[in-house]
Amino acid sequence: MSLKLNVLSLNRTDLYAHALSLFVRSNVHKVLDLSVSQLLDFLIDVADKYTKAPYHTFYHAVDIVTILYYLCHDLNADMYLTDLDKSILLVAALCHDIGHPGFTNSFQIKTQTELAEKYGGTSTLETYSVHLTMELLDKHSTANSHVVRDTIKDLILSTDMAYHSELVNQADQLVRLVEQSRKSSSSSSNKRKHCTSTALVPSTHLALESRTSLCRILLHAADISNMARPWVISKQWSDLIVQEFFSQGDEERKRKMTISPGMDREVCSQPSISLKFGQLILPYFESLVSLLPKSHVFVDFLVANRARWERLDQHKQSPTTIRRVSSDVRATSTTTITTSPSIASATAIKYKRIRLGFRSKSFPTVLYHHHQHHHYQSNVIIEKNNLLPLVNFKSSLLYDTTKTNIESIVLYHPYDQ
């Protein structure tokens, strides 16, 4: 996996394939006792619950899942976690912004929306996402354990930015705990040097509470990682979140409300917003490096991107027309909008269609999948008793054409290279 993977380059169908591959490779379906077909059903139903807000979409959800997969499998966070921990983490990540309307918790409370009235004034949207997630878990009869569901709820609620400072403290505490564990394991290294299983290494043994804390830390890191990604990807996500911010600011102005900080297009600029956010999250990623040394890559990108934003901040930009990505098919369908100088792009957003394909015994380039009911309305419609070209994804596949379902998938991801 690579941080160069840009989910915004995928159309809707490829996005499902990508998300499915990460869940299958992480054995989520086995841990939750789902077939791959049932897992795909769940993914599609989750996607259907996301709105068409500029930023908080299913694309954002899959992006966070992608970064978590990278943290776990490439940066070695999974050495501290069980398979169940990772499965809970990925499900929480996929669902953490379900139903997000594109307006903040503060806006919900100030305008006394139905969501605020129903879900309260603390973490309103996150509580709403928890509610929708539990409904979907019920529908798919999975993750039925109270412990599993309580942990999913805990993780989703922790994505409220109001808990950022608390998570910084949790990260620092976990760093100290892991360092103590490493010292302890070092003192007994002679006893362990003949062990063949890495599972016996004490440094990887964390109590349940500490593992849950680590999951919160990782999920938050992924959720705020846009500024710590390669510039082209980081800039695209910045364009989307600023669109969402300024839309809220416009609505607040229309209602003659006090405009929320960072959301007034007449006062704030995209570079200034990005620089402030980068300054806020830098200490968090520096703490993460103490836990996962390889995660310095995020700090490196943060520093490099900060320099780019500083240069943009120094130059007054004229109004620019940028392309807003469609919420359904981001690789093939865009809408042109005119924005203020603060959203001006340093470079045009360009979407490159990534060619991905299945390798199978019976169908060399296309995976066909049998679904039992309508799932969503998009450019791809899955209907009862239809064999539908579902994904265009590079994999090895064992496929039973008689049962018309996926028996097993041995996935090979192009970004492994």
The per-residue pLDDT for 182 is 75
Quote the CA–CA distance of 50 and 380 in Å, as a whole number: 16
Look up the pTM and report it.
Answer: 0.79
Instruction: Please tell me the CATH code under which domain 7-182+207-338 is placed.
Output: 1.10.1300.10
Whose structure tokens read 């990682």? 225
pLDDT of residue 187: 61
pLDDT digits (tens, 9 = 90+) for 87-120: 999 999 999 999 999 999 999 999 999 999 999 9
Cite the annotated binding site by residue number: 60, 96-97, 223
Can you read off the two tokens belonging to residue 227? 């500024």
User: Which pLDDT value is given to residue 205?
Assistant: 72
d(C-alpha 233, C-alpha 3), whole Å: 9
Query: Which string of DSSP letters, residue by residue, matches 3-26?
Result: TT--GGGS-HHHHHHHHHHHHHHT
Q: In the block, which residue shows the tokens 């976990």? A: 174
Binding residues for Zn(2+): 60, 96-97, 223
371 among known catalytic residues: no
Catalytic pick among 18, 29, 56, 369: 56
Pairing between β-strand 395-400 and β-strand 405-411 as defined by DSSP bridges: antiparallel
Which tokens belong to 383? 């209907």
Banded pLDDT at 188 (limits 50, 70, 90):
low
Count other Cβ atoms within 10 Å, centred on residue 181: 18
Query: CA-to-CA distance for 128 and 156, rounded, in angstroms?
Result: 10
Q: What confidence score (pLDDT) does residue 411 get?
A: 43
- Let me know the angle formed at the C-alpha of 339 by 233 and 248, rounded to the nearest 5 degrees: 85
Q: Where in the chain is the domain with CATH 1.10.1300.10?
A: 7-182+207-338
- Cα dist. 386→383, 404, 405 in Å? 6, 10, 12
pLDDT digits over 213-271, tens only?
Answer: 999 999 999 999 999 999 999 999 999 999 999 999 999 999 999 999 999 999 999 99
Average pLDDT in the chain: 79
Q: 336 pairs with which residues across the strands?
A: 323
Q: What is the pLDDT of residues 320-376, one digit of tens each?
A: 434 454 444 454 333 333 333 333 322 222 333 333 333 333 322 234 343 434 443
What is the per-residue pLDDT for 276?
Answer: 97
CA distances from 144 to 48, 111, 130, 147 (A): 22, 36, 14, 9
224 CB-near residues (< 8 Å, 6+ apart): 164, 277, 281, 284
Per-residue pLDDT, averaged over 180-194, amounts to: 63
Residue 325, beta-bridge partner list:
334
In angstroms, the CA 361 to CA 225 distance is: 39
82 pLDDT exceeds 70? yes
Evaluate if residue 170 carries a pLDDT over 70. Answer: yes
- Residue 359 · residue 366 · CB < 8 Å: no
In the predicted structure, residue 61 carries a pLDDT above the cut 50: yes
